Amino acid sequence: MANPYDEAHARSLRDPEGFWGDVAEDVRWFKRWDRVLDSSNKPFYRWFRGGVLNTCFNALDRHVEEGRADQPALIYDSPVTGFTVKTFTYRELRDAVAIFAGALAGLGIGKGDRVIIYMPMVPEAAIAMLACARIGAIHSVVFGGFAANELAVRIDDSKPKAIVAASCGVEVNRVIDYLPLINNAIGLAKHKVNHCVILQRPQSPGTLTPGRDVAWADAIANAKPAECVPLAATDPLYILYTSGTTGEPKGVVRDTGGHVVALKWTMKAVYNMDPGDVYWAASDIGWVVGHSYIVYAPLFHGCTTILYEGKPVGTPDAGAFWRVISQHGVNAMFTAPTAFRAIKREDPEGTFIRKYDLSRFRTLFLAGERTDPDTLLWAQRQLEKPVIDHWWQTETGWSIAANCTGIHTLPVKPGSPTKAVPGWDVQVLDDKCRPVKPGDIGALCCKLPLPPGTLPTLWNADERFKKTYLNDFPGFYKTADAGFLDADGYVYVMTRTDDVINVAGHRLSTGAMEEVLASHPDVAECAVIGVSDQLKGQLPLGLLVLKAGVKRPLGEITVEAVRLVRDRIGPVAAFRTAVVVQRLPKTRSGKILRGTMQKIADCEPFKAPATIDDPAILDEIANSLEGVGYAGARKN
């Protein structure tokens, strides 16, 4: 007999308009939609056409009106600044957001204008996002671990009227001044930014540029609170840049109506949260997890969200997560498997776990990379709570596959994020766009239309949107993940099919790193591969072929190469190893055999492709990789 999950999933595919129309009743609209799904301009589908609403109203004002004014909305917990804890009730957060929205409006920012937010994990980051939403400005948050050059690329693509930033970020072992990075980025960008609002942090206040910069405190001092602006459901809420095949990041657009509808629904359906519950996503607002599950979804649902400025280990120890869970009564937590691998490495017996009261904690959710069965089983054993892997992407904004614990919990199969969430028709296709048999690996694709809250397009790049996601498998969205479905319909996500690697749950482009390395004056050719790493899942490794006649010490060149990637992309790339090789293995048509080199580095068995130009190069590569500590498997 069909269980409630099967029923919900089947209905969502059979009758998407009925399914999402019902879900949308839970949202506060200023004007109801004319059409749940507008398919008149395929492949650009639009949800809730004609509907008018405001994201910030649904996150804050409605809860103040509906009796949650004095409930904590957001708890800021910051071990890196001396264990600061600050709680905002829904009323306090609404007021802080309204004032900052007024400050932005005072700078001439209004509906449709872009605002870049470059901030560490401080409450003002969430306040700035919600303030943009309140006045219809489109925010684009840039992760603090990216370098000035990456920020400049995003400035030129999104053309913001203003940047909202903090004077510094606080990492475990150092304070990072943001203003030099911002000044550098603004200098590199072609687009002129007129205003910067800078939150001066006591850890390292910065020197403001007169005429351009205003301190956050001054900006709000004379501001009048702004009201929520009515917006079309199809108006953009934010742009979030993510890595693709090249160094040019893709601006994923999120619209207004579908986002509120879908995200609010996931809080119950996927995470089994009720209004008033405490929810914690230990990620960063610079990533999609932070957008969806630190800021928006928990607030849409009337939960308390935790904004944590710290790490899983080292702030101060491997008990950091358990301290936060017990101190704030967290009911469900969401983080990346890499965080658990870091904890497991320092506290394999779970000694710290037993020091804290976790009685209110119900479920651990993991995503961002595949949860390896070892980590899943370890976490399950230590916590004695369900551990749920779920699969999603920046593009989708919420999970494609999950165990929908608020609808009907299915048995967990380690290694699988369970089944397609209602709204998602996940199929595994071969390169001729034909479905493959259960158990066979192929391209994981989702039949169009995608559900609400997913990307309607890329920022100012409709053609790129089609080329990247829709053209290869007509009628489907290409996730660029490969995997399989088992006979029970469980999804298994195995690997990316493009040049994206996943480093500590952070999505990075090897193509972007190659572009940086290729700019080194001594480098003729290069390749970057993602090699396995026990903690971070993958780490980038660069192979460099030098220009003829270069006589400098190789060590100098590799050190410069490492520094170049850190300076241009940022520390988050974790690019620490480059090795000089004589030649790169290629097919006869000139395609670099990155996959084969990755297998060599990971000591996995491999066969030299039939199309290889010169098989002897593989032995040279194996020798070079052995020289930098990689196992160097030989072909079988």
Contacts with ligand AMP by CB under 6 A lie at: 242, 288, 367-370, 389-394, 417, 479, 481, 493, 496, 502, 507
User: Would you say 366 or 622 has its CB closer to ligand AMP?
Assistant: 366
**Shortest approach of ligand AMP to residue 369 CB, angstroms?**
5
User: Would you say 537 or 542 has its CB closer to ligand AMP?
Assistant: 537
- Using the rule CB under 6 A, which residue among 243, 256, 283, 457 binds ligand COA? 283
User: Would you say 61 or 150 has its CB closer to ligand AMP?
Assistant: 150
How does DSSP classify residue 206?
-
**Shortest approach of ligand AMP to residue 241 CB, angstroms?**
11
**Shortest approach of ligand AMP to residue 289 CB, angstroms?**
7
**Shortest approach of ligand COA to residue 368 CB, angstroms?**
4
**Shortest approach of ligand AMP to residue 479 CB, angstroms?**
6
Residue 161 host element (H or E): none
Q: 528, 426, 412: which is closest to 476 by C-alpha? A: 426
User: Would you say 262 or 546 has its CB closer to ligand AMP?
Assistant: 262
> According to the 3-state scheme, what is the secondary structure of 40-51?
CCCCCCEEEECC
> According to the 3-state scheme, what is the secondary structure of 461-511?
CHHHHHHHHHCCCCCEEEEEEEEEECCCCCEEEEEECCCEEEECCEEEEHH
Reading the block at residue 442, the tokens are 């192929």
**Shortest approach of ligand COA to residue 286 CB, angstroms?**
7
Position 257 contacts ligand COA (CB under 6 A): no
* Residue 397 binds: one of ligand COA, ligand AMP, none (C-beta under 5 to 8 A by kind): none
Mask: binding to ligand COA, 307-346, rule CB under 6 A, as x and -?
----xxx---------------------xx-xx--x----
**Shortest approach of ligand AMP to residue 470 CB, angstroms?**
16
User: Would you say 171 or 613 has its CB closer to ligand COA?
Assistant: 171
User: Would you say 119 or 428 has its CB closer to ligand COA?
Assistant: 119
Q: 341, 331, 332, 328: which is closest to 379 by C-alpha? A: 341
Position 165 contacts ligand COA (CB under 6 A): no
Amino acid at 450: L
**Shortest approach of ligand COA to residue 84 CB, angstroms?**
17
Reading the block at residue 191, the tokens are 């687009």
Task: Give, as ranges, the residues between 540 and 599 that touch ligand COA (CB under 6 A).
Answer: 571-572, 574
DSSP string, 128-167: HHHHHHHHTPEEEE--TTS-HHHHHHHHHHH--SEEEEES
CA atoms within 13 A on the CB side of 266: 31
The β-bridge relationship of strands 363-366 and 387-389 is parallel
Task: Give, as ranges, the residues between 395 and 454 that touch ligand COA (CB under 6 A).
Answer: none
User: Would you say 61 or 481 has its CB closer to ligand AMP?
Assistant: 481
Sheet with 491-496: strands ordered across: 426-429, 442-447, 476-485, 491-496
Task: Give, as ranges, the residues between 191 and 250 that touch ligand COA (CB under 6 A).
Answer: none
Q: Distance between CA 613 and CA 592 in Å, rounded?
A: 10
Amino acid at 30: F
The β-bridge relationship of strands 442-447 and 476-485 is antiparallel
**How many Cβ atoms are within 10 Å of 174's Cβ, its own excluded?**
9
Phi/psi for 304 (5° steps) reads -100, 130
List interacting residues with ligand COA (CB under 6 A): 120, 144-145, 169, 171, 176, 283-284, 287, 289, 311-313, 335-336, 338-339, 342, 368, 504-506, 571-572, 574
